[in-house]
Amino acid sequence: MSSPRTNTGTDPQKSPDALSRRDWGILLVLCGAIFLEGIDVAMLNVALPSIRADLGLSTGSLQWVMSAYVLGYGGFMLLGGRAADLFGRRQMFVFWLAVFLLFSGLGGFADEGWMLIVARFVTGVAAAFMTPAGLSIITTSFAEGPQRNKALLVYSGTGAGGFSIGLVVGGLLTSAGWRWVFFAPVVLSALILLAALTFVPKSPRPERSGQSFDLAGGITVTAAIVLIVLGVERASHTSVGQTLLTLGAGLASLLAFLAIEARSAQPLVRLGIFRSGALVRANLAGLLFAAGFFGFQFLVVLYLQELRGWSTLETSFAMIVIGIDAILSPLLVPKLVARFGNARLIVGGLLAASLSYALFLPLGADWTYPAMLPGLLLLGIAFALAYGPLTIVATEGVKEEEQGLAGGLLYTSFQFGAALGLSAATAVNVAATASSSPAALLDGYRAALWVPLTAALLATLIAAFGLRSRTGGSAVVTAAPAAEHATASVELPTAR
């Protein structure tokens, strides 16, 4: 099996996870991209009520402003990962970063809901090609073990930082006008694009003789994701027959995808990769973790702004405490991984997320911020404990030529989970809200908060199986060296 490129010319007396200046240059550019993705999503979150008021969108349509992005992101992620492996990681990263820049800006000119939804969908597609290319550049540029673990934890912490800063910046920009939430990322994208052209080395174009791009697989898996999410979202305001028909079409598309992959000489997803129990657990736990997180934050933003009447800026500062993971991920989590292993950290993080959501179940109409603070703080800690280690496990032990695929699978799981979480939380909220009175709105939020709690508990259950698996990252034996690696291996974001 080919192994990721290791750094040469490194001082042997340096720490095993020490990075050279060249390494830091590459890492900072890629961190800039994941920071961009995080800040873009976060700014939109806090701007949603202003967008709804200006464009006259219903709750269902408002949810699709978010879901259009995550559907484009998750639906095309596998194609994006495969494209990075086939056409060159740097080439895909740079090209799709430029597309991201263009359509992010176009979203700011939308004057109807459908225009904004289309712009967000294409932006999500661009992120679907850009993100796995960036992740695979990291996993092929840093040696597996302490060095790669450090790079991935810095990378995930930066993405978390983008989300946290985006909450505040989004509030400030929305105060001036929600369209600035779309214009601001254009400047950051341009700077990152210039830096990428300067610092990221050109990747050799892979040998593609006899290889093909599995477009049929990409179309069927995208159709499956869109139809399943649509079925969940429409469940509360359409007939049972229509819901079952939509979900059935989604499952049929998924089965068609699996059949295509099983027979394809050059599949989009080599099904043999799922023989790794750790990888499967990582993706399932990541899917459910993202479902809970995105559903929860959507509900909290609506609660604070629509029921409590908080401004976008007040909401931003209220939720910024979740961003504690941006500090913990690069500074504390590497030490915890080395001591306890990825599996234990992931289970601990998912338990913390479950407790966070449970603390919000008795949500009151006049809760003070100190009453909300423990739950929000716990969620930030949960993200720090789970996200980075899951990223490590989802890409660990994978062949270099399939690192793009591994990254694509990981981010597909996150974005599919995010779309399902948003759709399910919205469906329950709409179904449980009998009127527009404050009491009815509160009933809707309380009912919908069971969605993220259920998702987090299921993720914890799945991750717990890794504690019993000797090869699935249970203890502290498979991720960073002691004899081979001294960390651990279990599972998987945010994608935020």
Give the Å distances, CA to CA, from 352 to 208, 285, 297: 45, 14, 16
Q: What pLDDT score was predicted for residue 3?
A: 41
| Residue 236 DSSP code | G
Q: What is the pLDDT of residues 473-491, one digit of tens each?
A: 433 333 333 332 332 322 3
Q: What pLDDT score was predicted for residue 15?
A: 61
Q: What is the pLDDT of residues 9-41, one digit of tens each?
A: 444 455 666 667 777 888 888 988 888 888 888
- Cα–Cα dist 133/30, whole Å: 10
> What's the pTM?
0.76
Instruction: Give yes or no for a contact between 50 and 179, defined as CB atoms under 8 angstroms apart.
Output: no
Q: What is the pLDDT of residues 230-260, one digit of tens each?
A: 777 666 667 888 889 999 999 999 999 999 9
Structure-token match 């599919």, residue found: 416
Q: What pLDDT score was predicted for residue 10?
A: 43
**What's the CA angle centered on 453, arms 479 and 248, to 5 degrees?**
90
Q: What pLDDT score was predicted for residue 99?
A: 94
Q: H-type helices in 177-322, by residue range?
A: 180-199, 215-234, 240-263, 277-302, 312-319
Q: What pLDDT score was predicted for residue 17?
A: 62
Q: What pLDDT score was predicted for residue 18?
A: 66
Instruction: Give yes or no for a contact between 35 and 158, defined as CB atoms under 8 angstroms apart.
Output: yes
Instruction: Give yes or no for a contact between 450 and 358, defined as CB atoms under 8 angstroms apart.
Output: no
Name residues of the chain where pLDDT drops below 50: 1-12, 470-496
Q: What pLDDT score was predicted for residue 368?
A: 93
Q: Please name which of 281, 252, 257, 278 lies closest in space to residue 268, comparing C-alpha atoms.
A: 257
Give the Å distances, CA to CA, from 108 to 111, 113, 454, 495: 9, 12, 35, 22
Q: Please name which of 117, 142, 96 lies closest in space to residue 400, comparing C-alpha atoms.
A: 142
| 3-state class (DSSP) for residue 8 | coil
- Cα–Cα dist 419/229, whole Å: 7
